[in-house]
Amino acid sequence: MRVSVSNLTFGYDYRTVLKDVSFEIEDGDFLVVVGNNGSGKSTLVKCLLGINPVPDGKVFLDNKEINQFENWIRIGYVPQKLDDFNYEFPITLNEIMHVSRYSKVTEEQKLALLDRMGILELQHENINTLSGGQLQRVFIARALINRPDLLILDEPTVGVDKENVEQFYNVVNGLNEDGVTIILISHHLSPGNANYTHIMQLREGRSFLRSASDLHAGGDSRHGV
């Protein structure tokens, strides 16, 4: 899915968080957004998901004005804080997948997805008994159940051990190879893990975009101010 943001400025009350942010990624690209705490990464995600109201003409998803965009199940989202999910109340992985399924996905496709995420054997487990790494994969599977064209991952490897981080990047890289556009938000970039095509740095709300090929060639194709 093509994502285009042009001169987006956004703030809460009197504080401006994003200043004139611009970038464009094409179908099948893999964008990594890096920045320190408070640089506006999560605010940008909320703008892309339509949670933060943005003015017309600033954000386009699949060439469609975000305020007119309706096909949200084409976007998969893995939140930064799993705390948003009340997972202390018993619910199994299978039940989560059942209630999250909003498109025509067969039982076989669901099982194949769980298998790919390495959580097939956990489908009847209560999710509050799972480890941090397993839980992370559950939420990625949930984001993928409706077979999205764009997957947004907000700091998905925070608190996940090294082995699971590697496994996580293998899955994400594989999805990207299958044509899913990825936007990965990260506090730190681990370039060895993510096969990204673009990297954008957010510094005090301003954006600096480079393509991977530019980086390797030592070029400087800056976007924004």
Partner 1 sequence: MEFEIASGFIRSVLEREFMQFAIITGVLVGLLAPMIGSFVVIKRLSLIADTLSHFSLAGLSIGLFFLNILGLPIQDPLYIGMLFAVIGALLIEALRSYYKNYKEISMPIVISLGTALSALFISLSGGFSTEIYNYLFGSILTVGRNFVYIISITTAVILLLILIFYRQIVIISFDESYARLLGIRVNLFQFFSTIILGIVISLAIETVGVLLVSSLMIIPVAAAMKIGRSFKSTLLIAILFSETSVLVGIYLSFILGWPSGATIVLFNLFILGGVVVFRRMFFKRRLEKKQQESQAI
In the complex, the residues that contact partner 1 under the rule CB under 8 A are: 49, 51, 70, 72-73, 75, 77, 79, 84-87, 89-92, 94-96, 98-100, 102, 124-126, 142
**Cα 33 to Cα 91, 132, 140, 205, distances in angstroms:** 33, 23, 18, 12
Q: Smallest distance from the beta carbon of 144 to partner 1, in angstroms?
A: 13
Q: Smallest distance from the beta carbon of 44 to partner 1, in angstroms?
A: 16
Question: Are the beta carbons of 200 and 33 closer than 8 angstroms?
Answer: yes
Cα–Cα distance for residue pair 24/2, rounded to 1 Å: 8
Q: Smallest distance from the beta carbon of 86 to partner 1, in angstroms?
A: 5
Cα–Cα distance for residue pair 147/105, rounded to 1 Å: 8
Using the minimum distance from each CB to partner 1, give the nearer residue, 133 or 148: 148
Using the minimum distance from each CB to partner 1, give the nearer residue, 128 or 221: 128
Cα–Cα distance for residue pair 44/97, rounded to 1 Å: 27
Cα–Cα distance for residue pair 95/80, rounded to 1 Å: 22
Using the minimum distance from each CB to partner 1, give the nearer residue, 12 or 188: 12
Using the minimum distance from each CB to partner 1, give the nearer residue, 14 or 89: 89
Using the minimum distance from each CB to partner 1, give the nearer residue, 82 or 215: 82
Q: Smallest distance from the beta carbon of 99 to partner 1, in angstroms?
A: 4
Helix (H) or strand (E) run with residue 182 in it: strand 181-186
Q: Is 26 helix (H, G, I), strand (E, B) or coil?
A: coil
